[in-house]
A and B are shown apart, each in its own frame.
Chain A
Amino acid sequence: MSKSISKLCRRGTAALALTAAIGAFAVQAEAGTVENMERERAILIETLRAADMEANERAGKVEISRHRLVDLERMVLRDDSLTGRNTPTVRRAFANYDLTFMVHSASEQQVAVIDVWLGQLGLTTQTLMSASKGRR
């Protein structure tokens, strides 16, 4: 009798452990942090590049995007499920810290977000000033 009770207890404990493990994996299965960040980043770049926008309007939109990107960038950097996930999106995201985590990089360097982005594209004041007109 006691044997069967202990067996039942063991099975119950095993089932509990299994449920806990499944629960943990279920949480991990929620992905998309990189995609969310990329979408927000694309919107920010679009806003920065938009020619038909008032300066104030642009500043307001950039500030909203920037604020949101702070959290999204942190979510990506803290997402352990991305470690070693060899997908093109993740590979590209971690290929260049300054380009992907633009808001953090800009704050770190104490420059504007657009400066970081243009700098990563090779468009700095120095390169523009030293550019010369000529035929290709």
Chain B
Amino acid sequence: MSARPKYSIAGSTRGLILGLALSMAATGVFTVPAYASGGDPTWQPQASERLVKLPASYIKRSLEQDFTRSELGQALRDIDTEIGFKSETLTDLQAAIEASEGEVRTDLRHQFLVEKREYIELVSRKIELRRKAMEKKSGVLEKLMKRMGQQDAELTPIRRELIERQSAARARFETSISGVDMELLETSVAPESKYSRQFASNLSAIDSLSRAIEQHPMSRGPEVDGVPVTREDYVRQMIADAQAELELIGQEETILGYMAKLVALDATALSEEVSDAELIDSDTPEGESLTGAVKFFVGQ
């Protein structure tokens, strides 16, 4: 056994284990380590005008980039690294416990419990940060949805009527343009105008360019499960995803609670084991009965 015991099993250790068990049982995992910057890491996404006007497929990317750059995003990455290190420590300790025996084994078991407690604290912290991030994301998406709705509602009846009239006029123009061209060609003696000629050639250039834009991978419209959807549908899907993530975080909290409970039970069991061993090794005489002392008083 190469690992050196860091603690000696004594009354103080027993107290420590009991303390660990009690703290896990009573308070669970609510000890929150402070973030490196001193305060609580934050992320303040805004349903800005820019975000409202962004193409739907960019909204998600923009939010993710904003989160990555935020203090909260940085804190989550840091905590992920810490959890990774802690997992490695736990794996090493578990292997060391299996290879050790006696007092060293008890020491390592105690250390293992302490590390498990710290692991749970870290995961708890991560869950808390993830919940915070998801709540922020969900909130900003709700605001975004509201603002998008407001933009539609901003159309006054007069403006809406104007847009309808313009659409109708353009539709009428498009359906009649070939007939009008033919009629003008027949009746007019003047040659085709520069605008008409240039417009036709420009139109074919515009068509080919707009086709290229449509086919460009970066201009692909929003999709949900490969099905093209509207902007509103896409944002609604993002809100639903955030809600699903929050629900899963709640489930993970339950898992973590059970983990904490197990650590508390393990700590109680270890404390009792240590207590029993100390009692066996101690020189304190076992409770002698009074009848045993009778021999000192009779037969003199």
Contacts and interface: CB of A to CB of B under 8 A. Distances in A.
Interface of A: 63-64, 66-68, 70-71, 74-75, 77, 82-86, 90-91, 94-95, 97, 101, 104, 107-108, 110
B146 interface: no
A85 to B, nearest CB: 8
B184 interface: yes
B179 interface: yes
A38 B156 CA distance: 26
B162 A84 contact: yes
Contacts, number: 61
Interface string B186-214: 00111001011001000000000000000
Is chain B's binding surface mostly helix, strand, loop or mixed?
Answer: helix
Interface of B: 155-156, 158-159, 162-163, 165-166, 168-170, 172-173, 176, 179-180, 183-184, 188-190, 193, 195-196, 199
Contacts of A77: 169-170, 173
Is chain A's binding surface mostly helix, strand, loop or mixed?
Answer: helix
Contact of A63 (B162, B173, B179, B189): B189
20 contacts: A63-B189, A63-B190, A64-B190, A70-B180, A71-B193, A71-B195, A71-B196, A74-B173, A74-B199, A84-B155, A84-B162, A84-B166, A94-B162, A94-B165, A97-B168, A97-B169, A101-B169, A101-B173, A104-B180, A107-B183
